[in-house]
Structure 1
Amino acid sequence: MKIYIKNMVCIRCQMVVKNELKKLNLEYSDVKIGEANIIGTITEEDLKKLDTSLKMAGLELMSSRKRILVEKTTNAIIELVHYTDEQIKVNLSIFLSDKLNYDYTYLANLFTEVKGTTIEKFYLKHKIERVKELLVYDELNLSEIAYKMHYSSVAHLSNQFKKITGLTPSQFKTLKNISRDTLENL
């Protein structure tokens, strides 16, 4: 049985889910961002216990098909931006449509309805948050970051960064108290 989990956006979240499943003696075959495959059946009582324990960790079980699809869209974008260096070879719309097996217009409308923002704005926010992370690490220069994040130029990255944050990348880098958002709050 597959269960879907809201706000499960990182490896630590996966560890939390695995620990909670073990506490309830629920066997699983796979736990990945946004979902877990439970071996066998799970009782309503165990589902409620799991949901309660997950909520304490900022996670939540989902049952609405629409919310599950939006969460899958969210997780696909997060994985693409934060956990792969691979550049998609097609437009984001085609990538998401192919990955989730839904028409992009339907995905986009549903995403906006549930999240209150467009897929494109969500994607750009995540790209800029990843750029912030790379700037804070201070291991790459701006040209290397632009290349890594698949921007056509440093100017394009800088313009988008300023549009979203109000600062240039170099202004951001000089801040003493650099603030970054958590992935689940973007």
Structure 2
Amino acid sequence: MVCNRCIKVVQDEFAKLNLNIEEIELGKVNVSSQLSNDKVEEVRKILDENGFELIDDKKSKLIDRIKTIIIERTHYSESGFESLNTSEYISKELGHDYSYLSNLFSSVEGITIEKYIINQKIEKVKELLVYDELSLNEISYQLGYSSVQHLSNQFKKITGLTPSHFKKLKENKRKPLDEV
């Protein structure tokens, strides 16, 4: 789950299955009772039909949690990138050494955590450019870039366009967060 609409879909589908949700957040659902194997398969099927997947092994859960932390911090956090650097933040949140998390993520996803963060940040930049409410300087600050030039260089490297050219296109070249 990568957005609040995703959470709503999961809540609705779990309600149809008469499952009581104790806690739900991006990438995680806790239900109040132990599920039978048949119920787990029913949940798996419903999630799959809605474009989600049930993650039930520890390494996959850890990778999904890394992604969720990055997405929350990039797209939904008010403080964004102002406090701890991202590697410290992820390590602290998950209670694992960052090098272990980084190696695990890279081996399964085929991309480094740093590259994943950059891709998420660029998607956020695209969103903010389309909204046209913040200057590039404000966007740069909000996403923790050292300078507008650094943001612009990274944006061009990823998209092939400068931020100003992207803004002028008036086309929506954004990707859904689960495809980044």
Bin the TM-score by the shorter chain. Answer: over 0.9
1:184 match: 178
2:70–2:117 contact (8 Å) kept in structure 1: yes
One-letter amino acid matched to 2:107: E
1:151–1:157 contact (8 Å) kept in structure 2: yes
One-letter amino acid matched to 1:80: R
Matches within 5 A, 1:35-114: 35-86=28-79, 87-114=81-108
- Percent identical residues: 47
1:28-84 C-alpha deviation (Å, 9 max, x unpaired): 111111111100221111111111011011001111211110000010000000001
Number of matched residues? 179
- Relative to the length of structure 1, the TM-score reads 0.93
Secondary structure of the structure 2 residue equivalent to 1:60 = coil
Q: Which residue of the other structure, out of 155, 158, 178, is the alignment partner of 1:164?
A: 158
2:140–2:151 contact (8 Å) kept in structure 1: yes
2:82–2:144 contact (8 Å) kept in structure 1: no
Secondary structure of the structure 2 residue equivalent to 1:152 = coil
Matches within 5 A, 1:79-158: 79-86=72-79, 87-158=81-152
Shift of 1:23: 0.5
Aligned structure 1 segments of 4 or more residues deviating by more than 3 angstroms? none
Q: Which runs of 5+ in 2 are unaligned?
A: none
Counterparts of 1:103 and 1:35, CA distance in 2 = 22
Shift of 1:176: 3.5
One-letter amino acid matched to 1:185: E
1:78–1:126 contact (8 Å) kept in structure 2: yes
2:17 is aligned with 1:24 = yes
Counterparts of 1:109 and 1:160, CA distance in 2 = 23
- Relative to the length of structure 2, the TM-score reads 0.96
**CA RMSD of the aligned region, Å?**
1.0
1:129-158 C-alpha deviation (Å, 9 max, x unpaired): 000000000111111111221222211111
Q: Which runs of 5+ in 1 are unaligned?
A: 1-7
Secondary structure of the structure 2 residue equivalent to 1:30 = strand
Higher strand share: 1
